[in-house]
Amino acid sequence: MIKPPFYAALALLAPLTAATAQQKNPLAPLPAQTSALTQNNYGSIIRIEAATQVPDYREPWKAGRFSGGIGTGFLIGHNRFLTNAHVVSNARRLLITVHGSPRKHPAKIVHIAHDCDLALLEVENFMPFLGLTPLQIGNVPKLESQVRVIGYPVGGNRISVTRGVVSRIDFNTYSHSRSDQHLVVQIDAAINPGNSGGPVLQNGKVAGVAFQGLRSADNTGYMIPTPVVKRFLKDIEDGHYDQYVDLGINSFPMFNPAMRKKFGLDQNSPGVLVASVTPDGPCDGVLKNNDILTAINGNAVDAAGNILIDGEKVNMNEIVERKFSGDSIQLNIIRAGKPLSVSCTLKPFPPSRMYAAQYGVKPRFTTFAGLVLQPLDRNLYAAHSFTNTRVRRLFTHYVDEAIFKHRKDIVILTRVLADPVNTHVSGHVGTAVKSINGEKVTSLEQAHALLHPKDTPEFFIIQCEGIERPIVIPGDQAAEASQRTQTNYGISTPSHLDQ
Amino acid sequence: MKFLTFIITLFAVASCCDKKSCTINKDASADDSTVVFHPPRSVQTSVVRINSTLQTWSAAQPWDKSAPKKRRALGALLSDNRVLTTAEMATNVTYIELENADSTRRIPAKVIAIDYEANLALLEPDNGDTQGFFKGLKPLTLGSPAKIGDEVSVWQLEENGMPLVTRATIQGVDIVSSFAQGHYFLTYEVKGSMQSSTSSFTLPVIRNNQLLGLLTSYSAKDQIIDVMAPEIIAAFLADTADKKYEGFPSLGIAISSTVDPNFRTWLKLSDDVGGLYVTRIRKNSAAEKAGIEKGDVIIQIDNKDIGRRGYYSDANYGKLFWSHLIRGTHKVGDSINLTVLRNGDEKKITATLARPGKRLIASHTFDQAPRYLVKGGFIFQELTATYLKAFGKDWESKAPLNLLDVISSPEDYEEGRNKLVFLSATIPTPATTGYERLRNFIVNKVNGQPIADIPSLIKAFQAAGPDGLHTIEFAHGPPKTIFLDATASDLVDTELINRGIPELSRD
């Protein structure tokens, strides 16, 4: 039996809605003066209550699910509260409570960065908070040093403090967006639902933001370290969050002796193989397959693709991680045996958002004669778990095979709402729409336009990928069928096309 | 309690009948549907036990065989000491033997003909005391087709050799795929309540003292026994007569129903015709050679009207699926007449039926050891459905996506290939340092030569570049191209043999 590759399941520390039936052990009272934190500092660690509305990607015309959760945040400046993006994602109402006070203060999101799971909030009226001391952002804590996690996790209503040591500093996945990797610090203090967004403190300064845990392991909490936090705060200085930038290359370690010989590298020469370059990415036209990348901004890149920063070996992406859109990166390469120096200008790469979970947006869709069409993205994929090989392939290779260049959206037929006009359509659900009346489908808007033309054709012929037998809807019955399915299935809005 | 009495009664019936008279024993049981009503002696003299030891090949390490499995069944004894059973009993067998009803005699057997698609196999004794083994045994003759409603009996044997006969009723007929996936043949669906007993993997089914068919499956939940129909067995036996087994014919099309009224209007089909919409034509198939086109609507086969769902009216069975007209009533080389509608115009087409052509990914690879090459630690194989199915029950979602894509769209990969060669795994060796994680990559070229199959791969590896390196190019990657030291990989190959890999390649 072949074993499929093993992926460690990263579990999101989602704030829990209601307090579950938990065993409550009476806790010993905190010694009054042992902590470096004063009452005032506890005050700057706030409890966030979010009422959310989560869109329904299975029936996108519906209002979605109303729910909510609890998270933690902390004051970092005048009317600036930092928390996790996942604490406030899809929020319709946000309330902030200060330690020891029953008052709930309405708040709103100023900036939200889903790719690094951070958000900045402000309250409508900052007056009641004026006496509080904002927390200072510190540095990356050393391995094995002690940290404290403070927040409002499940198991009670009042503030909670846990203690642990830094057990690992690594590049890891941020599970909120499901597609981004940044620096992560692992600690062995308990981080539980509700701790999300709370500060991890060392020497009275913020060493990170508690944000996720690992369900399959004990005592592994993860925090967002301060370089990521600082980058977020710098990015929003211009009043707009621009997202992370990426080189857009795949590298392959140069460990194999034959490989090294082929590229003329001796045993100690630096360099990693450029194995693929993302089409239209920042390095498209700058780097080529089979270039050897030897240095990035003057830092030598080793055979594994690592560089040395502050005495620590880190992934070469760490250089790019701290850069912003529009910044330039200097790359030293060996191409066909000749050393070259090239530079690329970093920029965000919108097609890669195909793989990032979206929050706070209304799902796009259109309906036609009972057929429901939706564009493929991570949210849709999660809601429908597609099994069709073609659809899975289009999703997986959307970026690396440059499918995005000619198909802005991969339009999926996600549902057929039974109606006399479509009752015999079967086997098409869960496939990608290839063409409508002979025209290749390239976006949801275009598909919608093709299905709602000025002059009604005799037939609407809809071809799905991998299925030869087309869906045929007689033109003169289409409008009536659309109307009928909307009424029968309670579809209040027949389409939502805007991003 | 009641169940227990019933079993005891049945034994009594059997032993009493064994002596002589064989009418229904009225004392036996109130529920006479389970009463023995055939001469039990013929059960013991016309069936033989078949004991098979089966071994498949390991998907991950293609030089290894997996742990042996045993299967025991009852075969139907035919004339000339031949024994009929299902292909499932005779596929991937390491050893197969015949055993008589009371287990006093055994003889090794060999497979003389096998059809994986129709799930049939014919066995013959292989060495040993043939005369002694078959002494006193009486072959069965193959019966004629039955009708829905006919009573049949399924023969089993107890461990001690006593017959166990279940009476059952044919409830319907259908076209069923019982072994090789995607090959459908005429099958009776028979209602009856079976019990577990020894040697029951497959069983002969009898009607009027003649062999009607073989049991291919039994659903305890529905109490439905699937029985291979005699027409299919007759065609199989006729094919085996000339020692050169050809197999069942195929037309080579994929179809879709024309039930949808909108689809029918678009196809310009009138209400009085049925029709099958042709969605795919296999390369080099009978259909392609006859000029059938994608989008044609087949309305008649051999002058029989084909309905909207693909059923025609069979004189004996009633509604039957169209494919029986191709695979169940003809042999390879026969001509069939088709009436198709193309853009609304009727066309008559004559097709000469043939065996399905070679495919990039065969529908099955039974009895075929996987072809592979081990080079410096890289394991290259030819992609088969068997390989993908080794990923488990959910293989269609668990197997690597790029390989699944080959199965679902083979036409995208066919050019220049007989088979699809891919890197299935990498054994960590000094030659594959840094490549340990590479797997499931489709191979395009090695040392500049396009790779069509394992033999061409072996040949390509014989000519390393002037720099002493092999160049391996993959279809996707990344990386798309990697290099392997020729000298180092040859050394590794020798070492791998020392470590117990019996052969570095199989072609």
Same domain, residue pair B215 and B141: yes
- Residue B364, domain member (yes or no): no
pLDDT, chain B, mean = 90
Q: What is the Cα–Cα distance from B231 to B328, expressed in whole angstroms?
A: 7
The pLDDT score that the predictor gives to residue B41 is: 62
Q: Is B284 helix (H, G, I), strand (E, B) or coil?
A: coil
Cβ burial A209-236 (10 Å sphere, 16+ → b, else e):
bbbbbbeeeeebbbbbbbbbbebbbebb
**Model confidence over A373-428: pLDDT tens digits?**
999 999 999 999 899 999 999 999 999 999 999 999 999 999 999 999 999 888 89
Out of A4, A257, A474, whose CB is closest to B485?
Answer: A257
Q: pTM, whole model, 2 decimals?
A: 0.86
Contacts of residue A275 in chain B, CB cutoff 8 Å? 477-480
- Residue B426, domain member (yes or no): yes
Q: Is B474 on the interface with A (CB under 8 A)?
A: no
Share of chain A above pLDDT 70, in %: 92
**CA distances (Å), origin B236, targets B141, B212, B228, B335, B352:** 14, 14, 12, 19, 19
- Residue B13, domain member (yes or no): no
Q: Look at B480 and A4 and tell me if their CB atoms are within 8 Å.
A: no
Calculate how close chain B gets to A333, using CA atoms only, in Å: 17
Closest-CA residue of chain B to A303: B434
**Model confidence over A126-171: pLDDT tens digits?**
999 988 899 999 999 999 999 999 999 988 888 999 999 999 988 8
Calculate how close chain B gets to A282, using CA atoms only, in Å: 18
Same domain, residue pair B236 and B93: yes
Same domain, residue pair B64 and B28: yes
**Residue to substitute from A389, A391, A393, A437, interface B, most B β-carbons within 10 A:** A389
Contacts of residue A256 in chain B, CB cutoff 8 Å? 432-435, 482-484
ipTM: 0.84
Q: What is the Cα–Cα distance from B110 to B172, expressed in whole angstroms?
A: 34
The pLDDT score that the predictor gives to residue B278 is: 96
Q: Which residue has the tokens 């009418």?
A: B23
Q: Look at A2 and B391 and tell me if their CB atoms are within 8 Å.
A: yes
Instruction: Look at residue A28 and tell me whether its pLDDT is greater than 70.
Output: no
Output DSSP code: residue B142. B
**Residue of A196, A352, A482, A495 marked active site:** A196
Calculate how close chain B gets to A490, using CA atoms only, in Å: 25
- Per the annotation, the verdict on A452 as an active-site residue is no
Same domain, residue pair B292 and B223: no
Instruction: Look at residue A41 and tell me whether its pLDDT is greater than 90.
Output: no
Instruction: Look at residue A363 and tell me whether its pLDDT is greater than 50.
Output: yes
Phi and psi torsions of A383, nearest 5°: -75, -30
Q: Considering its fold, how many domains does chain B have in total? A: 3
Instruction: Look at residue B167 and tell me whether its pLDDT is greater than 90.
Output: yes
The pLDDT score that the predictor gives to residue A139 is: 93
Tell me, what CATH number does B469's domain have? 3.20.190.20
Q: Look at B401 and A424 and tell me if their CB atoms are within 8 Å.
A: no
- Residue B367, domain member (yes or no): no
The pLDDT score that the predictor gives to residue B27 is: 35
- Residue B4, domain member (yes or no): no
Tokens of B427: 């054994």
Q: Look at A389 and B467 and tell me if their CB atoms are within 8 Å.
A: no
Tokens of A234: 């710098």
Q: Which residue has the tokens 């539980």?
A: A192
User: HSE of B191 in the Cβ direction (CA atoms, 13 Å)?
Assistant: 8
Tokens of A412: 């999926």
Q: What is the Cα–Cα distance from A378 to A27, expressed in whole angstroms?
A: 43
Quickly count: other Cβ atoms within 10 Å of residue A85's Cβ.
Answer: 26
Instruction: Look at residue B438 and tell me whether its pLDDT is greater than 80.
Output: yes
Q: Look at A472 and B432 and tell me if their CB atoms are within 8 Å.
A: no
Cβ pair B459, B447 in contact under 8 A: no
Q: Look at A258 and B392 and tell me if their CB atoms are within 8 Å.
A: no
Instruction: Look at residue B384 and tell me whether its pLDDT is greater than 90.
Output: yes
Q: Look at A461 and B60 and tell me if their CB atoms are within 8 Å.
A: no
Same domain, residue pair B342 and B269: yes
- Residue B114, domain member (yes or no): yes
Q: Which residue has the tokens 């909490």?
A: A221
A10-238 and A249-308+331-345 in the same fold: no
Instruction: Look at residue B409 and tell me whether its pLDDT is greater than 80.
Output: yes
Instruction: Look at residue B9 and tell me whether its pLDDT is greater than 50.
Output: no
The pLDDT score that the predictor gives to residue B42 is: 80
- Per the annotation, the verdict on A196 as an active-site residue is yes
**Model confidence over A283-302: pLDDT tens digits?**
999 999 999 999 999 999 99
The pLDDT score that the predictor gives to residue A19 is: 31
Contacts of residue A265 in chain B, CB cutoff 8 Å? none
The pLDDT score that the predictor gives to residue B10 is: 32
**Model confidence over A169-196: pLDDT tens digits?**
888 899 998 888 899 999 998 888 899 9
Same domain, residue pair B241 and B259: no
Calculate how close chain B gets to A170, using CA atoms only, in Å: 21
Same domain, residue pair B397 and B434: yes
The pLDDT score that the predictor gives to residue B31 is: 40
Protein fold of A364-496: N-terminal domain of MutM-like DNA repair proteins (3.20.190)
Secondary structure (DSSP) of A30-63: PPTTSSS--HHHHHTEEEEEEEEEE--SSSTTS-
What are the contacts of A459-462 at 24+ separation with CB within 8 A? A459/B262, A459/B265, A459/B266, A460/A368, A460/A369, A460/A436, A461/A435, A461/A436, A461/A437, A461/B266, A462/A371, A462/A413, A462/A433, A462/A435, A462/A436
Please state the rounded mean pLDDT for residues B404-413: 92
Same domain, residue pair B171 and B302: no
More confident call, A229 vs B102: A229
Same domain, residue pair B324 and B424: no
What confidence tier does B40 reach under pLDDT thresholds 50, 70, 90?
Answer: low
- Residue B497, domain member (yes or no): yes
Q: Is B411 on the interface with A (CB under 8 A)?
A: no
Out of B60, B262, B391, whose CB is closest to A472?
Answer: B262
Same domain, residue pair B66 and B211: yes
Instruction: Look at residue A25 and tell me whether its pLDDT is greater than 60.
Output: no
- Per the annotation, the verdict on A78 as an active-site residue is no
Q: Is B23 on the interface with A (CB under 8 A)?
A: no
Out of A1, A256, A289, whose CB is closest to B434?
Answer: A256
Tell me, what CATH number does B132's domain have? 2.40.10.120
Output DSSP code: residue A355. G
Same domain, residue pair B273 and B417: no
Q: What is the Cα–Cα distance from A3 to A147, expressed in whole angstroms?
A: 39
The domains of chain A are located at 10-238, 249-308+331-345, 364-496
Same domain, residue pair B41 and B132: yes
Q: Spell out the alpha helix ranges (H) of A116-264.
A: 226-235, 257-262
Q: Is B303 on the interface with A (CB under 8 A)?
A: no
The pLDDT score that the predictor gives to residue A498 is: 84
Residue range of the domain that includes B203: 18-245
Please state the rounded mean pLDDT for residues B471-480: 93
Calculate how close chain A gets to B258, using CA atoms only, in Å: 9
Instruction: Look at residue B244 and tell me whether its pLDDT is greater than 70.
Output: yes
Q: What is the Cα–Cα distance from B246 to B332, expressed in whole angstroms?
A: 8
Please state the rounded mean pLDDT for residues B162-191: 95
Instruction: Look at residue A276 and tell me whether its pLDDT is greater than 90.
Output: yes
Q: Look at B396 and A250 and tell me if their CB atoms are within 8 Å.
A: no
Q: Look at B433 and A254 and tell me if their CB atoms are within 8 Å.
A: no
Closest-CA residue of chain A to B470: A258
Paired strand residues for B485: B469
Q: Which residue has the tokens 């707009």?
A: A240
Closest-CA residue of chain B to A427: B256
Please state the rounded mean pLDDT for residues A248-274: 94
The pLDDT score that the predictor gives to residue A156 is: 83
Closest-CA residue of chain A to B294: A468
Contacts of residue B396 in chain A, CB cutoff 8 Å? 387
Least confident of A318-332, B4-18, B197-211, B402-416: B4-18
Least confident of A22-26, A392-396, B398-402: A22-26
Q: Look at B479 and A459 and tell me if their CB atoms are within 8 Å.
A: no
Cβ pair B166, B154 in contact under 8 A: yes
Q: What is the Cα–Cα distance from A450 to A340, expressed in whole angstroms?
A: 49
Q: Which residue has the tokens 């489709």?
A: B442
Residues of A with CB under 8 A from a CB of B: 1-2, 4, 250, 252-259, 261-262, 273, 275-276, 289-290, 387, 389-390, 392-393, 396, 421, 423-425, 459, 461, 466-470, 472-474, 477
Is-cis flag, bond preceding B356, omega within 30? no
**Model confidence over B306-358: pLDDT tens digits?**
999 999 999 999 999 999 999 999 999 999 999 999 988 999 999 999 998 88
Instruction: Look at residue B75 and tell me whether its pLDDT is greater than 90.
Output: yes
Contacts of residue A459 in chain B, CB cutoff 8 Å? 262, 265-266
Q: Is B309 on the interface with A (CB under 8 A)?
A: no
The pLDDT score that the predictor gives to residue A267 is: 86
Q: Is A101 helix (H, G, I), strand (E, B) or coil?
A: coil
Contacts of residue A252 in chain B, CB cutoff 8 Å? 478-479
More confident call, A284 vs B1: A284
A-to-B residue pairs, Cβ atoms closer than 8 angstroms: 108
- Residue B273, domain member (yes or no): yes
Out of B259, B263, B409, whose CB is closest to A472?
Answer: B263
Share of chain A above pLDDT 90, in %: 76
The pLDDT score that the predictor gives to residue B35 is: 45
Q: Look at B401 and A387 and tell me if their CB atoms are within 8 Å.
A: no
Q: Is A372 helix (H, G, I), strand (E, B) or coil?
A: strand
Instruction: Look at residue B19 and tell me whether its pLDDT is greater than 70.
Output: no
Among A207, A222, A235, smallest CA distance to A176 is for: A222
Number of helices and strands (H, E) in chain A?
A: 9, 29
Least confident of A34-48, A304-318, B218-232: A34-48
Calculate how close chain A gets to B400, using CA atoms only, in Å: 8
R_g of chain B computed on alpha carbons = 27
Q: Is B3 on the interface with A (CB under 8 A)?
A: no
Please state the rounded mean pLDDT for residues B429-439: 95
For domain A249-308+331-345, the CATH architecture is: Roll (2.30)
The pLDDT score that the predictor gives to residue B120 is: 97
Q: Is B47 helix (H, G, I), strand (E, B) or coil?
A: strand
More confident call, B477 vs A437: A437
Q: What is the Cα–Cα distance from A261 to A319, expressed in whole angstroms?
A: 28
The pLDDT score that the predictor gives to residue B283 is: 87
Q: Look at B479 and A273 and tell me if their CB atoms are within 8 Å.
A: yes
Q: Is A414 helix (H, G, I), strand (E, B) or coil?
A: strand
Q: Is B483 on the interface with A (CB under 8 A)?
A: yes
| Exposed/middle/buried for residue A336 (C-beta within 10 Å: 0-12, 13-18, 19+) | exposed
Contacts of residue B479 in chain A, CB cutoff 8 Å? 252, 273, 275-276, 289
Contacts of residue A387 in chain B, CB cutoff 8 Å? 396-397
Q: Look at A290 and B481 and tell me if their CB atoms are within 8 Å.
A: yes
Protein fold of A10-238: Thrombin, subunit H (2.40.10)
What confidence tier does B1 reach under pLDDT thresholds 50, 70, 90?
Answer: very low
Q: Is B466 on the interface with A (CB under 8 A)?
A: no
What confidence tier does A214 reach under pLDDT thresholds 50, 70, 90?
Answer: confident
**Residue to substitute from B58, B61, B260, interface A, most A β-carbons within 10 A:** B260
Q: Look at B262 and A474 and tell me if their CB atoms are within 8 Å.
A: yes
